[in-house]
């Protein structure tokens, strides 16, 4: 059933403008981060690692979560319009699969975004004339950042499901990201979902913020995922839908 739900969600995204957001938005930090790196070569001396910080600092802090929120709002908007909630809830599939199907699609789009960001990082690095191959650390950090999307994606999917406005969940994501910086500065990054991306992508430090031990980070991601997904499924089971007339 879950596979069928994923297929149905994938069909909804065919020829969608969401792919333009995936492609277009990461180009901005890529171009500007590279430009900034080239303008400050005297200060930024750690080559690939310095370029990494320029690429990902603002992306992971302020724009990654709103971008995922944008994907989630888009996916739920289709159900909020017309009487689609009624159709969705009367489909012969468990509500758990309805939610998880949407979540899988969000992961796929997020994974695509992250791969695209990494590709831009490699291309820009080579265009800047950086020597050698991309450090393996950065591949790991990118992977961790993608895993952090499990927590954020689930939370945003829950918010977009409950809040019928398209824009408000995106505003919440940005606000959460601002607070996330305060948490990360205090060293509490594992206790706030919006800080996990910055911690996972190690975007403001050359040395690993997690100290080479990813277990607490993974536990935090899994816990947030379980809590938000559980709440969403419970909400779908217990609450009556509000469909547009």
- Told to check if 224 binds another protein by CB under 8 A, we report no
- What's the CA gap between 116 and 122, in Å, rounded? 10
Which of 75, 87, 94, 80 has its CA nearest to residue 10? 75
CB-wise, 188 or 226, nearer to another protein? 188
What is the closest distance, in whole angstroms, from the C-beta atom of residue 84 to another protein in the complex?
12
Rounded least distance, CB 64 to another protein, Å: 10
For residue 77, state whether it binds another protein (rule: CB under 8 A): yes
Residue among 10, 83, 206, 244 that touches another protein (CB under 8 A) = 244
CA end-to-end span of the chain? 29
Nearest distance from residue 215's CB to another protein, in Å? 30
Minimum distance from residue 174 beta carbon to another protein (Å):
5
Q: Does 17 bind another protein (CB under 8 A)?
A: yes
Q: What is the largest CA-CA distance in the chain?
A: 62
Chain centre distance of CA 230: 19
Report d(CA 128, CA 126) in Å as an integer. Answer: 5
Q: How wide is the angle at C-alpha 91 spanned by C-alphas 85 and 94, nearest 5°?
A: 100
Which of residues 119 and 178 has its CB atom nearest to another protein in the complex? 178
**Distance in Å, CB of 15 to another protein, minimum:** 12
Binding map of another protein across residues 26-45, x = CB under 8 A, - = no contact: --xx--xx-xx--x------
The answer to whether residue 25 forms part of the interface with another protein (CB under 8 A) is: yes
| CA distance to 20, 199, 203, 223, 227, per residue, from 151 (Å) | 24, 13, 18, 8, 9
Exactly one of 50, 53, 56, 73 binds another protein (CB under 8 A); that residue is 73
Which is nearest to 8 in space by CA: 109, 93, 114, 111? 93
Detail the DSSP E strand segments found in the chain. none
Cα(193)–Cα(65) distance, integer angstroms: 10
Q: With CB under 8 A, what is the number of residues at the site for another protein?
A: 36
Among 6, 68, 70, 120, which residue sits at the site for another protein (rule: CB under 8 A)? 70
H/E run at residue 141? helix 136-162
* Near another protein in 152-211, by CB under 8 A: 165-168, 170-171, 174-175, 178-179, 182
Q: Which residues bind another protein (CB under 8 A)?
A: 17-18, 20-21, 24-25, 28-29, 32-33, 35-36, 39, 58, 62-63, 66-67, 70, 73-74, 77, 80-81, 165-168, 170-171, 174-175, 178-179, 182, 244
């Amino acid at each position: 059933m879950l596979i069928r739900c994923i297929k149905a969600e994938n069909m909804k995204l065919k020829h969608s403008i969401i792919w333009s957001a995936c492609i277009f938005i990461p180009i901005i930090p890529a171009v500007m981060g590279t430009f900034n790196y080239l303008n400050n070569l005297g200060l930024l001396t750690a080559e690939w690692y310095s370029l990494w910080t320029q690429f990902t600092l603002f992306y992971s802090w302020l724009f990654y979560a709103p971008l995922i929120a944008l994907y989630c709002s888009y996916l739920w908007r289709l159900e909020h319009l017309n009487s689609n909630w009624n159709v969705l809830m009367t489909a012969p599939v468990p509500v758990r699969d309805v939610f998880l199907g949407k979540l899988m699609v969000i992961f796929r789009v997020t994974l695509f975004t992250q791969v695209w960001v990494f590709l831009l990082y490699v291309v820009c690095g080579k265009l800047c004339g950086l020597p050698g191959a991309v450090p393996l650390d950065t591949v790991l950090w990118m992977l961790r950042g993608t895993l952090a999307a499990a927590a954020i994606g689930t939370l945003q999917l829950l918010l977009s499901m409950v809040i019928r406005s398209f824009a408000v969940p995106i505003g919440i994501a940005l606000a959460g990201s601002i607070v996330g910086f305060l948490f990360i500065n205090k060293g509490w990054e594992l206790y706030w979902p919006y800080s996990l991306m910055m911690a996972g992508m190690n975007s403001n430090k050359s040395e690993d913020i997690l100290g080479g031990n990813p277990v607490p980070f993974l536990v935090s991601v899994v816990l947030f995922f379980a809590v938000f997904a559980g709440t969403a499924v419970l909400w779908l089971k217990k609450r009556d839908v509000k469909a547009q007339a």
